[in-house]
Chains A and B, each alone.
Chain A
Amino acid sequence: MGRVFLEHLGGQRIFSCAHCETPLTNRNELVSTRFTGATGRAFLFSRVVNTKQSAVQERMMLTGRHFVRDISCKKCDTKLGWMYEFATEETQRYKEGRVILERALINETDGF
């Protein structure tokens, strides 16, 4: 195998994978904190790096029917959250293309 290529977005408060500390995103990319995942609270980010996406799945959520892809860490493969591909309701369209990361699966640290 080779060396996994990792990006770093930088920022003042950095969110990283709880398992392997890979930087994922920062506070600037945070859109909303009012989400719930399997493990509890979850955040919606507009841009996240160093992740892998699964195939599209259809899920029924509190807010309606959505098409999502599961997101996992590029380096250690742990599940982190999901990203929205398509929202059936017009009011939920703002989520499309954005990523949910569950609070329990990520760390928040200070950047520089």
Chain B
Amino acid sequence: MHTANPNISQQPLISSVLDDNNTTLTTSDTATTLERLKQNLNGNISNNINNSSISSSTQTNHCQLHTKIFSNSEKEILKLIGQHLQSVGLSQTVDSLILESGCVLEHEQASNFRDLIISGKWTEALIALGKLKQYIAEQDGIQQMEYLILEQKYFELIEDEQAMEALYCLRNEIRPLNIRIERTHQLTAFLMFTSMKDMYKAANWSGKGFASRDKLMEKLQRKLSIEDVSLLQDHACSKQALPCVTVQTLTNHTDEVWFCKFSPDGTKLATGSKDGNLFIYDVDMTTYKLKLRKHFDGHSFGIGFIAWCPFSRYIIACGTDECSEIWIWDIQREEQRSRIHHTPDDSLTCAAWLPCGTRFVCGGSRGQFYYCDIDGNVIDNWEGVRLQCLNVTSDGVILAADAQKRISSYKFDSLTDHQIIHEDHPIMSFTISKDGRSALLNIATQGVHLWDLHDRQLLRKYQGVTQGHYVNHATFGGPNEEFIASGSEDSNVYLWHRKQERPIMIFSGHTRTVNCVSWHPILPLLFASASDDATVRIWSTTEHQCQTESSTNSD
């Protein structure tokens, strides 16, 4: 496996923030620190205000310091500067910075925990709390903290008028902690309040939102005693932070697996194969383990493409070139919903849902391009386009790659089309990023190309893959969709960082061509790859590696 360090030089930014030292920074750690610094600066106050506040803080005397109050963003910037100075080795400067500003440099996990609290992700916060166990001084400190978090969750549920959930939280989450029993009794009383204002007064609570969560964070902060800062881990570079091991191999298929896709809500994975079977797996979001949920069969020509509806309820399964119908499965009811069959000469090989979830477009290389609704009625028909691949952006723009190496957008109501991308070589498949701005194309014999859809520009070509013989599907993935992953005919899975042409990691494990890679839409460290060797491999970090590698064959 290969790793590479993305080298981001940030010289102009440094000179404006850290006085006159124009040192060239080449270590990856500092580069990432600066990246975060830059993000903070761009996201918050302008550079000038930053400079003045930082310089003013270094000029104030000791006796004035403790009265100076920094805003949250200023504090964060100071902490990042402190971490950077620490990594460069100027520990004396760091000490004086801590003294003067009164900010303690934050531990990465603590900042993660803080983010979870502020955004209200209670279950994840509790999990993160478990990881911070070693920093809690008191005996039952962790339970006290859990109590505080669950209390906040309880209040927020009451405010959202979800009484049943609040009661559930009280009974099954707060009660079992077995501390502060009187407070628990008090909490039950709050459920009775009919007006929110009275409840706020009685509970001394300021209402759901940033203010109350911030207060909660302060209370929790007092319990945590985080020591010295550790170097900021370079998220993209450290091998431990990347999904690089097979945590599970799914062997339910008996023939080449041609397609795999996670559902938009992240709870399921669908895989389709040449053997005509469609398997649905449940994804456990905490252990990253997959379990077979349902098996649909009957596709006589094999399944070449799968499209999840935006609400993760229905799946369209398309066959190959010879197949003239597409099947829609209802995952909730675990049965077939409809079969779209227009004429026997059709070839429908690709499909995409519109954002409403009740209509979709489908088409194939024989020139069929239908706009249908979920019952199988063809609402509209665009004649004369040989489609290779279909996608719909979240705004409802229909994009299609046709046999003439173009990607165009189609509007059925006005029957107009606009050409967006024109490639020199045939387009095998393409996918769109979540923000609808970029498209990732698999080009026969040329590799993976990244295009900007708005500017109609080729941004980058990613090297390393072998493809051209078999249809291949690449994907965006990772935090902020920074990674690009694709399978290859040399049985490896390639991973690139969006900004670099050379792969940062190559995963081996499959024994034959990898046809499709699908990244989990929510969890940043989980993806699946489908191969001609009849297996689907689930890749994640070493922490999530299961004890056994084989799949669970339960029904």
With CB as the reference atom, state the residue of chain A lying closest to B382: A56
Q: Which B residues are CB-close (under 8 A) to A86?
A: 367, 383-386
Tell me which residues across on chain B come within 8 A of A96, comparing CB atoms.
386, 403-404
Across-interface contacts of A67 in B (CB, < 8 A): 383-384
Are A97's CB and B384's CB within 8 A?
no
How many residues belonging to A are interface residues under a CB distance threshold of 8 Å?
Answer: 9
Label chain B's interface by main secondary structure.
Answer: loop
In the docked arrangement, what's the CA distance between A86 and B386, Å?
A: 8
Query: Which residues of the partner chain B approach A55 to less than 8 Å between Cβ atoms?
Result: 416
* A58/B404 in contact, CB under 8 A: no
0/1 interface trace, chain A 64-98, chain B, CB 8 Å (1 if under)? 00010000000000000000011010000000110
| Residues of A contacting B416 in the complex (Cβ-Cβ under 8 angstroms) | 55
Report B-chain residues with C-beta under 8 Å of the C-beta of A85.
384-385, 404
Residues in chain A near residue B386, CB distance under 8 A? 86, 96
A93 to B: closest C-beta gap in Å: 9
Main secondary structure of the interface of A (DSSP, over half): loop
Inter-chain contact A58/B403, CB cutoff 8 Å: no
Of residues 33 to 60 in A, which have CB atoms within 8 Å of B's CB atoms? 55-56, 58
CB closest residue in chain B, given A67:
B384
A98 to chain B, nearest CB (A): 10
Q: Digit string of B402-416 for contact with A (CB within 8 Å is 1, else 0)?
A: 011000000000001
Q: How far is the CB of B498 from chain A (nearest CB, A)?
A: 31
Taking the nearest CB of chain A, how far is it from the CB of B452, in angstroms?
22
On chain A, the residues within 8 Å of B403 by CB distance are: 96
Q: Which residues of A contact B367 (CB under 8 A)?
A: 86, 88
- Alpha-carbon distance between A55 and B417 when the two chains are bound, in angstroms: 9
Q: How far is the CA of A88 from the CA of B117 in the complex (A)?
A: 61
Chain A neighbourhood of B404, CB < 8 A = 85, 96-97
Bound-state Cα–Cα, A55 to B418, Å: 10
Residue interface bits B354-387, CB-to-A below 8 A is 1, else 0: 0000000000000100000000000000011110
Cα distance A85–B404 in the bound complex, in angstroms: 9
Q: Roughly how many angstroms separate A95 CA and B128 CA in the complex, as a whole number?
A: 62
- Say how far A68's CB is from chain B's closest CB, in angstroms: 10
Minimum CB–CB distance from A44 to chain B (whole Å) comes to 16
Give the residue name and chain of the A residue nearest to B386 (CB): A86
A92 to chain B, nearest CB (A): 12
Q: Pick the most buried of B383, B384, B403: most chain A CB atoms within 10 A of its CB.
A: B384
Interface string of B120-134 (1 = CB under 8 A from A): 000000000000000
Contacts of A56 in B (CB 8 A): 384, 417
Interface residues of B in 381-432 (CB under 8 A from A): 383-386, 403-404, 416-417
List, in ascending order, chain A residues with CB within 8 A of B384's CB.
Answer: 56, 58, 67, 85-86
Q: How far is the CA of A104 from the CA of B383 in the complex (A)?
A: 31
* Chain B residue at smallest Cβ distance from A55: B416
Q: How far is the CB of B423 from chain A (nearest CB, A)?
A: 13
Q: What distance in Å separates the Cβ of B363 from its nearest Cβ neighbour in chain A?
A: 12
Which residues of A sit under 8 angstroms from B383, Cβ to Cβ? Answer: 58, 67, 86
**Bound Cα distance from A70 to B127, whole angstroms:** 64
Please report which residues of chain B, range 236-252, place their CB below 8 angstroms from some CB of chain A when the two chains form the complex: none
A66 nearest CB neighbor, chain B only: B384
Min CB–CB distance A27 → chain B (angstroms): 23
B373 to chain A, nearest CB (A): 25
CB distance from A70 to the nearest CB of B (A): 15
How far is it, in angstroms, between the C-alpha of A56 and the C-alpha of B416 when the chains are bound?
Answer: 9
**Within the complex, what minimum Cβ distance (angstroms) separates B235 from chain A?**
44
CA distance A96 to B316 in the complex (A): 30
Query: What's the Cα separation between A56 and B383 when bound, in Å?
Result: 10
CB distance from B401 to the nearest CB of A (A): 14
Tell me the minimal C-beta distance from B183 to chain A in angstroms.
72
A58 and B416 CA atoms in complex are apart in Å by: 14
Shortest CB–CB separation between residue B370 and chain A, in angstroms?
A: 15
A85 to B387, CA, bound (A): 12
- Residues on B with C-beta less than 8 A from A88 are 367
Residue of B nearest to A88 (CB): B367
- A97 nearest in chain B by CB position: B404
Q: How far is the CB of A84 from chain B (nearest CB, A)?
A: 10
In addition to A86-B384, A86-B386, 7 A-B residue pairs with Cβ atoms within 8 Å of each other are A58-B383, A85-B404, A86-B367, A86-B383, A86-B385, A96-B404, A97-B404
Closest 8 A/B residue pairs (Cβ): A86-B384, A67-B384, A97-B404, A86-B367, A85-B384, A56-B384, A86-B385, A86-B386
Q: Can you list 14 residue pairs at the A/B interface with Cβ under 8 Å?
A: A55-B416, A56-B384, A56-B417, A58-B384, A67-B383, A67-B384, A85-B404, A86-B367, A86-B386, A88-B367, A96-B386, A96-B403, A96-B404, A97-B404
